[in-house]
């Protein structure tokens, strides 16, 4: 046994074929590249998934193929009459004898890390009835003498966990339930805490890994907020220009400019979505997005506006509030001699302006008339509603990606969720956001400090949304 050679904790995820071992490793390692399928034999070799912090391995997980000839292995082991304290030597002898035997390829693959000192995580599927065939596997694992725990997975809805727990109790001291299809940080931490109990000398390192996991999640949230802020800044302050060949701009030129402006915004949104996928380690996700999902709900569609944007009423109130604040400034300037007319007029002008310009993105301006070179210009974004639509969509996308388990291999269906807006956009948040959106609308640009505080606001919203998951 080489357990003293390995300084970091090592865990081998083992079990009967097709019980979700790879899905569990995928979920714990946050790696969506692991081959997961219901076809037996998908995992052909053992593969290591180390948690590394700055190159140092904190712990290592092994994904392994399932048992194929458990009864034959057990028979071989039992044919050696030894006392309990020397059983692990027999297992090692089995490995030495059958290392190149193709019949026991899978057993050799899964037993090797265990005999090198790995703790055992035995996976069963409790959505299916208990089966006697697992007993040979559990007996072999017992022969290895390594610390072990059982993980109860639920691939389907049915629940046979009671009978499984009774059976597993005879072999394992720690039995936990884990659903790799759910991204639940608490569940993940609970499993890590159980793993820490397997061997006393591993406790510190595995507990440290929990801290790293939490820190890692914080990093991902921060990076997502930074990416979203970048998108908002680039999209809302963007100015699209179209050089004109003729003296005056015709309707075609204007339409062409509008289309280019929209195309830019769409590209920016898609780029940020890809970045979000990368941040949350879902690099293999994009290709599998269902064609009838979010992609089809265009950024400029009415559906997008109705799901993610403000209603006309909300816009009216937002515009009126901004106008009233400006008008109140005038009142203050005259020491109240205006009888608060400034505020009232500001509210009416702001409100009506916002209401009337509900569908307009930005004004198309003809520039350079006197300088000889003529061009059309569109931007920065003037539409009061668009920032909420864009922000709502990217927040929604981020939450969907972050909440997706790395064990899932099906297409990501991003269905409309009309309640999403209510989950993050209340009056207070809208007021805070409007301050920044107004700055972008003004075309004055945003300094670094403002962008930082906007990023902090986005991070806060994201955290709140994640906590609700």
Partner 1 sequence: MHLKDYIDLYTLLKGDLSTRQERRTFGLAHEALTSRPLSLLKAWVDEKMRTRQTEQAGEKVAHLLYHTTLWLTLLAFVTGIFSGIGLLSYNGHAPVNLIYFLALVVLLPLVTMTLALLSMLRAKRARNTLVHLSPAYLMERMALFFTKKEDLLTQVEINPMLLNWIVIQRSQLLALAFSVGLLLALLGVVATRDVAFAWSTTLQIDAAAFHRFLEFVALPWRSWLPTAVPSLELVEQSQYYRLGGTLSKEMIEHAAALGAWWKFLAMATLFYAVLLRALFYLLATWGLKRALKKATLALEGAEELLRDMTEPFITTSSMEKTQRGDVVKKGYGRIQEALKLHYDVIQGWAIPSQQLSLLCEVMEVSAPVCVEVGGNNTLEEDQHIVAQSSGEVLLFVKAWEPPTMDLMDYLEALSRQAESVTVVPVGTEHTEYKPKESDQAVWTDMIAKADLSKVWIT
Decide whether 374 or 406 has the Cβ nearer to partner 1: 406
Q: Is 453 in the site for partner 1 (CB under 8 A)?
A: no
Q: What is the DSSP letter of 245?
A: S
| Binding-site member from 100, 200, 448, 467 for partner 1 (CB under 8 A) | 448
Q: Which of residues 115-144 bind partner 1 (CB under 8 A)?
A: 125, 128-129, 131-133, 135
Interface stretch with partner 1, choices 13-21, 162-170, 304-312, 428-436 (CB under 8 A): 13-21
- In angstroms, the Cα distances linking 328 to 323, 325, 338 are 8, 5, 10
The tokens of 433 are what? 């956001």
Report yes or no: 440 and 446 within 8 Å, Cβ to Cβ: yes
Cα 55 to chain centroid distance, Å, stands at 23
How far is the CA of 41 from the CAs of 21, 36, 151, 321, 449, in angstroms? 12, 10, 20, 64, 54
Q: Rank residues 162 and 292 by Cβ distance to partner 1 and give the closer one.
A: 162
Task: Say how far apart CA 72 and CA 62 lie, in whole Å.
Answer: 23
Stretch that binds partner 1, among 25-33, 180-188, 250-258, 303-311 (CB under 8 A): 25-33
What is the C-alpha separation between 76 and 451, in angstroms, rounded? Answer: 67
Q: Is the peptide bond before 182 cis (omega within 30 degrees of 0)?
A: no
Q: How far is CA 385 from the centre of its chain?
A: 27
To partner 1, the closest distance from the beta carbon of 202 in angstroms equals 17
The pair phi, psi for residue 177, each rounded to 5°, is -105, 135
CB-wise, 33 or 250, nearer to partner 1?
Answer: 33
Write down the least CB distance from residue 353 to partner 1, Å: 26
Cβ nearer to partner 1, comparing 18 with 385: 18
Taking the C-alpha atoms of residue 111 and residue 72, their distance in angstroms, rounded to an integer, is: 14
Q: Does 293 bind partner 1 (CB under 8 A)?
A: no
Least Å from the CB of residue 417 to partner 1: 29
Binding footprint of partner 1, residue count (CB under 8 A): 58
Whichever of 125 and 277 has its CB closer to partner 1, that residue is 125
Assess 445 for contact with partner 1 (CB under 8 A): yes
Under DSSP, the state recorded for 118 is P
In whole angstroms, how close is the CB of 445 to partner 1 at the nearest point? 7
State how far the Cα of 378 lies from the Cα of 380, in Å rounded to an integer.
7
Which of 304, 314, 318 is closest to 396 using CA atoms?
304
Assess 69 for contact with partner 1 (CB under 8 A): yes
Closer to partner 1 by Cβ: residue 67 or 386: 67
Name the minimum Å distance from CB 216 to partner 1: 5
Contact 286, 278 (CB under 8 A): no
Query: For residues 72-101, which are near partner 1 according to CB under 8 A?
Result: 72, 75
**CA-to-CA distance for 87 and 77, rounded, in angstroms?**
8
Q: Please, what is the minimum distance in Å from the beta carbon of residue 36 to partner 1? A: 9
Least distance in Å: CB of 78 to partner 1? 9
Integer-rounded Cα Rg, in Å, for the chain is 30
x/- string (CB under 8 A) for partner 1, residues 227-266?
A: ----------------------------------------
Strand partners, 464: none
Query: Contact with partner 1 (CB under 8 A): which of 9, 12, 14, 31?
Result: 31
17 binds partner 1 (CB under 8 A): yes
Cβ-proximal residues to 168 (8 Å cutoff; 6+ apart), any chain: 122, 124, 138, 150, 152, 175
Nearer to partner 1, 183 or 385 (CB): 183
For residues 348 and 323, is the Cβ–Cβ distance under 8 A?
Answer: yes
Nearest approach in angstroms of CB 238 to partner 1 is 14
Residues 374, 367 contacting (CB under 8 angstroms): yes
Among 103, 270, 284, 435, binds partner 1 (CB under 8 A): 103
Nearest Cα to Cα of residue 133 among 280, 18, 270, 299: 18
Q: Under the rule (CB under 8 A), what is the footprint of partner 1? A: 16-18, 28-31, 33-35, 37-45, 47-55, 65-72, 75, 103, 106, 125, 128-129, 131-133, 135, 158, 212, 215-216, 219, 222-223, 226, 281, 445, 447-448
């Amino acid at each position: 046994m080489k357990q003293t050679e390995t300084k970091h904790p090592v865990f081998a995820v083992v079990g009967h074929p097709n019980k979700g071992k790879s899905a569990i490793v995928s979920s714990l390692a946050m790696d969506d590249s692991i081959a997961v399928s219901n076809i037996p034999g998908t995992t052909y070799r053992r593969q290591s998934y180390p948690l590394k912090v700055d190159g140092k391995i904190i712990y290592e997980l092994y994904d392994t193929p399932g048992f194929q000839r458990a009864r034959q292995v057990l028979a071989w082991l039992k044919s050696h009459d030894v006392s309990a304290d020397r059983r692990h030597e027999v297992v090692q002898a089995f490995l030495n004898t059958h290392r190149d035997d193709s019949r026991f390829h899978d057993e050799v693959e899964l037993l090797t890390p265990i005999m090198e000192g790995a703790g055992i995580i035995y996976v069963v599927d409790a959505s299916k009835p208990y089966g006697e065939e697992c007993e040979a596997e559990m007996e072999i694992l017992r022969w290895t003498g390594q610390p072990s725990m059982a993980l109860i997975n639920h691939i389907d809805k049915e629940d046979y966990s009671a009978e499984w727990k009774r059976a597993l109790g005879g072999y394992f001291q720690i039995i936990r339930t884990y659903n790799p299809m759910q991204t639940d940080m608490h569940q993940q931490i609970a499993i890590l805490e159980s793993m820490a109990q397997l061997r006393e000398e591993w406790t510190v390192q595995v507990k440290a890994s929990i801290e790293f996991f939490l820190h890692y999640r914080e990093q991902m949230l921060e990076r997502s907020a930074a990416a979203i802020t970048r998108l908002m800044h680039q999209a809302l302050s963007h100015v699209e220009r179209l050089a004109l060949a003729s003296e005056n701009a015709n309707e075609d030129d204007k339409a062409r400019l509008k289309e280019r402006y929209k195309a830019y915004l769409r590209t920016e949104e898609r780029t940020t979505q890809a970045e979000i996928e990368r941040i949350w380690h879902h690099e293999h996700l994009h290709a599998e997005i269902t064609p009838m999902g979010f992609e089809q709900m265009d950024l400029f569609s009415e559906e997008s506006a109705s799901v993610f944007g403000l209603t006309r009423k909300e816009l009216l109130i937002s515009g009126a509030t901004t106008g009233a604040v400006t008008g109140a400034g005038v009142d203050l300037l005259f020491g109240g001699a205006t009888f608060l007319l400034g505020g009232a007029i500001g509210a009416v002008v702001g409100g009506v302006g916002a209401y009337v310009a509900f569908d307009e993105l930005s004004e198309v301006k003809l520039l350079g008339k006197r300088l000889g070179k003529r061009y059309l210009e569109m931007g920065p974004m003037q539409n009061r509603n668009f920032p909420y639509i864009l922000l709502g969509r990217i927040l929604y996308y981020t939450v969907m990606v972050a909440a997706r388990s790395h064990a899932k291999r099906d297409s990501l269906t991003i269905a409309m969720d009309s309640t999403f807006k209510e989950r993050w956009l209340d009056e207070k948040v809208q007021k805070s956001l409007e301050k920044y959106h107004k700055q972008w609308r003004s075309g004055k640009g945003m300094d670094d400090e403002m962008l930082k505080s906007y990023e902090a606001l986005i991070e806060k919203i994201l955290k709140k949304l994640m906590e609700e998951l």
